[in-house]
Homo-oligomer: A and B are copies of this chain.
């Protein structure tokens, strides 16, 4: 493949005046001005309280974005999967932390190989048998690996919940040749989307108190965690005040989406992040009176959450509805002029992470111009 082919069918539009509206669609569009403001915003917020940043790359799956996060001061990035970690490390990112247990012989073999060429590479464990397998895989390869205990503070997805289990695992890591004990992770996914701040404080406050107890117990046992990692975009407003974290895993802040735009998070009194990510579609049929059909459906937008929201000024008050795998319906607001065939229609993504995962490229724009294309090089499920 030529470099142009690797950037997809819109590569020829880079730097062409007015090229944003000429994109072959559906196209994931990144407003660079807003994106950069979000990157700077998080650095300012975390910097003010001495919280390190290790943003979650599961949101973007894009090593170009990871590079910009590191350039803004991040100590590395988080990854949800081994495949994401492989893509980030291949692009030269150091300080990758895999935030889910890496399980199974095939995956541990790949992890050990990866560890041999990665800097400050970290994984979490939540099970003694998995820890033994991990130690054995790394011992065989001779690679260095930092390990954290995954603590379950309420979600019950991964992690260990009891103080005894945390202390037991931490001790085992500290004793394992080839592994370095570095601390703990406590991620509470479900609280991120408690939209009202008071409700979020109530639920999350109890979890953080529990985490503080466990950290104290680790200290008492001679295993104080150098790293306490966790947090998301929704909990940031609480984590910067009261959280026991040394570093933060915020992910969605770079893009924002319909879901996170509903989460109350006043930081310095205002919502700190802007919607930088859109999906641009095109009108492909307009024979009906009250709506038009666009080329964006189940394969274009995540469907686990709310529907996409129109970002076109001329269609404000209109609504997107799902219309099959490849199609969406745009119900026109009263009095709106019906869009023409081929017209560009931009929408805010419903849930940014799984929406990004459906696409192969981020089309970076400034104003009305396409200025760059970044491959979503860690896309996929493996």
A interface residues, Cβ below 8 angstroms from B: 8-9, 22-27, 58, 80-81, 100-101, 103-107, 110, 126-127, 129-130, 152, 156-161, 165, 189, 282-288, 293, 295-296, 298-300, 302-304, 322-327, 329, 341-342, 351, 353-354, 357-360, 380-382
Closest B residue to A342 by beta carbon equals: B104
Find out whether the CB atom of B26 lies under 8 angstroms from the CB atom of A381: yes
Interface centre among A26, A295, A323 (most CB of B within 10 A): A295
**Given the complex of chains A and B, what is the CA–CA distance between A354 and B288 in angstroms?**
26
Q: Which residues of B contact A81 (CB under 8 A)?
A: 295, 326
Q: Which residues of B contact A284 (CB under 8 A)?
A: 100-101, 103, 158
Q: Which residues of B contact A286 (CB under 8 A)?
A: 127
**Given the complex of chains A and B, what is the CA–CA distance between A345 and B104 in angstroms?**
13
Closest B residue to A359 by beta carbon equals: B381
Point out the residue from B24, B126, B161, B293 that lies within 8 Å of A158, measured CB to CB.
Answer: B293
CB distance from A367 to the nearest CB of B (A): 20
Secondary structure dominating the interface of A:
loop
Say yes or no: A129-B341 contact (C-beta < 8 A), given A80-B325, A382-B24. Answer: yes
CB distance from A326 to the nearest CB of B (A): 5
**Minimum-distance CB pairs A-B, first 7:** A158-B285, A303-B304, A104-B342, A298-B354, A298-B304, A24-B106, A103-B284
Q: Which residues of B contact A100 (CB under 8 A)?
A: 284-285, 295, 326-327
**Given the complex of chains A and B, what is the CA–CA distance between A130 and B130 in angstroms?**
59
Q: Which residues of B contact A299 (CB under 8 A)?
A: 353-354, 357, 381
Q: Which residues of B contact A107 (CB under 8 A)?
A: 24
Q: Which residues of B contact A341 (CB under 8 A)?
A: 101, 103-104, 127, 129-130
Say yes or no: A283-B382 contact (C-beta < 8 A), given A293-B157, A325-B354. Answer: no
Interface centre among A161, A293, A353 (most CB of B within 10 A): A293
Q: Which residues of B contact A130 (CB under 8 A)?
A: 341
Find out whether the CB atom of B382 lies under 8 angstroms from the CB atom of A9: yes
